Every structure is written in structure tokens, then in C-alpha cells.
Amino acid sequence: MTVAAEVERRARPGLMVAVLCSAGAVSSYSQSVILLPIVGRLDEYLDTSADNAAWVITATLLVAAVALPTGGRLADLFGKRRVILVALGSLLLGSVIAALSDSLAPLVVGRALQGVTLVVIPVGVSLLRDLLPPERVPGAIATMGAALGLGGAVGLPPAAWIPQQFDWHMLFWVSSVLAALALLAVLTQIPESPRRSPGTVDVVGIIGLAIGLVCLLLVISKGRVWGWGDPETIVTGVVGAVTLIAWAAYELRRASPLVNLRLAARPTVLVTNLVSVLIGFTLLGMLLVSPWLMQVEMDQTVLSSGLWVAPAGFAMLVMSPFSARLVTAFGARSTLRGGTAVMGLGYLFVIVWMDSPWQVMVGVTITFAGLGVAYAAMVGLIMASVPLGETAAANGLNSLMRSIGTSTASAVIIAVLAASTVTLTTDGGMRTVPSRSAFELVYVIGAIAAVVGVALITAIPRVSSASGDPSEESSPTPTSGSRR
């Protein structure tokens, strides 16, 4: 009896999807939004400079970038459940270290360990593909995508409320409890996939990719602080570029590479990953700037602005079953195009109507609803285009591209908002805030990113899948048994 048949016999598919989605939501919450309400006061809490405090955010970003492709490949080699358990264990350990921290160094270490957990969603998607009957796979992928919204938008209000009522360390104690519960649930309710990819661990590839990605993301995240023309920025960028070129040449010669670049160069995979960068940019742009806009322009508190954003996460969850049906009815490519277009419509709504919190809420909700549709189609395209033994690695690379998009969005948004400011007089004195025109420009940039994404999607070839991912028409690209 196959694993999928055994799972069906025990009537556990729904439970497995719920457990992995919950783990994904915990991962998204702990990795992304947990610090948003207190990021402006970290220097005060840690008695350090603002530039040093920024490493609390940067460390998570850098570790996540390396963990995504590495964790995906290790999952294909040694077991997807095993990698998810390691990632959740790292989240638990990192959360406890951060909760006990009163200075910069241990908090950076804790946040770095939390960065590993971003592999839970892409590896979880691949695990569900291995364990579920084919007809359940599209719906499961869509529901896993909703975990991004539940962890992000829905996690923002409690993350804002906790430091108002308790010491800021309570944020990480809550994260520790959530991580422990997710770890226990996966350990007791999720079986391991029997699928393994042949090969060995590419240690040199891991080191080379880590150096290249760290340098690239340091330039993106620190370039504004260092100065774009500063020798430190230029040297870091050159080292990153040269390292990645050398790494790619090395990987192409490997029989068992960390990242199968020939597979990644297939038109469907390549273009979908490029679209993923733009979707990541569009996602973070809306999630980051909208609460900020409501606080500056509409006198909302951190908590109330988070509550206005929260419905967006539920919109993703509601759209999950519909997105699976859309993929089945119209194909993954058309569904991805439609979802990305809807994300752009959310930006256009806020550009036209941005005078009250409910208007911003509608725009954010539209964008996240589009994301819920686009995510299922995007992952479906990737999994329909790669061998079964490499789905976790391919999903990890796709998530890395989305992470690069969010990192770029953060850098661009901060630069745009810092370039146009106004000074306000408040009860607490004078404060400098971004101007309304700066917020408008950010929304325009996000809308442009969505439009470019829609245009790129037209270049994705039509694909077919033997694994339950619906197609638009046949393609000669094999889905299993491919040569490297």
C-alpha cells in the first residue's frame, strides 16, 4: 500500500494539512512580524545604536536566505519531516535565547536561529505532495499558502498588543510556546515521506552560496546606511557577485549539486522564480507600509493599525479552496496571472482611496486575496516542472526568490519614505515622519511590480503535471525521472 493510500485509509489528510499549516503560520509569525511593533525601540531596549540594533533583523534575513535552498536540498536527501522538525527545534531554541536576552549579541543569535524556520512552508508543501492523494494536493498547497497570511497579517495585532501589556521579552516567550506546540504536533501527527533523492551533501556548495547570498543581501539591506558608493558597499557587492558566479560554475560540474541549476534554468522554473521575487516585493510592500501609513496619516496606534490589517490574513485562508478550484479549472499559469493582477488591484485601490483606515484595509485585503490565489499556482507550477525527488529543493529556491523580493522591498520602502519627510508637532514634541507623497510613491512602485509580474507570467510555458497539479496543455518537460 502506498503512503498516500495509507494516509487516506486512516482519514488523516485534513489533520496533516492543519498541522503543517499551523507550523507554517508559526514560522511566518516568528520570522517576520514578531519584531515590527518594537523595531523602532530596539536600540533603547538593548542600550546600543540604531545601526547595531538593525542586526537583529538582518541576522534573521541572512540565515533564512541560506537555510531555504540548503534545507530544501537536505529534505530531499534525508527526509522532509526531519528537516521540518530541525527547523522548528531551531525556532524553539532561538526563541528561548531571545526571551532571555538583555543585550545585542544573544538576541542576534536567537533571531539567527529563528531564521532557519522559514524552510517549514516550502518543505511542508513538498511533504504534502508526497503523502496526499493527487486530487488533494492543489487544495493542500493553497492552504499552506494561507499560512503566510495567517502568520503575517493575523499575527500583527497580538504582536502589537503584547509589548503594550507586558515586557517585550514576552513576545519571544509566546513564540517559544507556539514553536513547542508546533514541534510536538509535527512529531506526533506527521509521518515521514519515503521519497529520497540520491546524492551527497554539497558542503562546498553550501559555503559558496552562503557567502554569495550574505554579501548580496548585506548590500540590499545595508547599502543605504553604508552609502551606495561607499567602498564597503562596493567591495561587498563585488565579492558576492564573484562568489555566486564561481559557485554557479562549480554547481554545474557537480553530479549532486546543492542547487540543480540546469533544472532551475528550465523556462517554467526560471520565470516562475522571477515572478516570485516580484510577488515577495509586492507582499511586504503592502504589509509593511500600510500600518505605517495609518499611524502617520490617520492617528492609529500600532495595535489598531494591526487590527485593521488582520482581515487580510483571513482573506488568504478563505481564498485557499477557491484558488485550488481555479488551478483545476483554468490551469496554474492563468491562475498565477490572475492572482498577481489582483494583488496589483489592491495597490491601485489604496492609491485612489487612502483617507481612512477602512479604505487601506480593503486594499490590503484585496492584495492578500490575490496572494492566496497566486501562491497556490506558483508552487503548483514549480512542482509540475521538477522531478519528484527534487521538489523540496525547488520549493526552497522559489521561497528564496520570494525572500529576496521582500528584502529588496524593505530596502526600497525605507529609502523612499526617508527621502520625503515632514515634521509634525505632537504632545510629545516634534517628530519627523514620511510625507503622504512618499507613501503614495511606495504604493505606485508596488503596483508596477505587480504589472511587471503579470507581464512575465505570459512567458511561462504551459505545463502538465503527473502529480495532481492541473495543466493548461501538455508540455514535453518531464515531471519525474529527469536526468540532472
Query: What's the pLDDT at 316?
Result: 82
Query: Could you give the C-alpha distances from 45 to 29, 40, 107, 302, 458, in angstroms and in order?
Result: 21, 10, 11, 18, 49
Residue at 249 is within a domain: no
Q: Ranked by mean pLDDT, which of 43-47, 176-180, 428-432 comes out on top? A: 176-180
Please check whether residue 317 lies inside any domain of the structure: yes
Structural domain count, the chain: 1
Give tens-digit pLDDT for 190-246: 998 888 877 788 899 899 989 998 898 888 878 877 888 889 899 999 999 999 999
Angle at 390 between CA 457 and CA 27, to 5 degrees: 80
Q: Is residue 247 part of a domain?
A: no
Per-residue pLDDT, 480: 38
Domain holding 124, by residue range, is 3-202+254-457
Q: What is the mean pLDDT of residues 104-131?
A: 90
The helix/strand/coil state of 244 is helix
CATH number of the domain encompassing residue 275 = 1.20.1250.20
> Is residue 102 domain-resident?
yes
457 Cβ contact partners less than 8 Å away, ≥ 6 residues apart: 271, 275, 333, 336, 337, 340
Per residue in 299-326, pLDDT tens? 888 788 888 888 888 888 788 778 878 8
The three cell numbers of residue 181 are 506546540
The answer to whether residue 415 scores a pLDDT higher than 90 is no
* 466 falls within a domain: no
479 part of a folded domain: no
- With respect to residue 216, please indicate whether it lies within any of the assigned structural domains: no
Tens of pLDDT, residues 149-206: 677 667 778 888 888 888 889 999 999 999 999 999 999 999 988 888 777 888 998 9
233 within domain boundaries: no
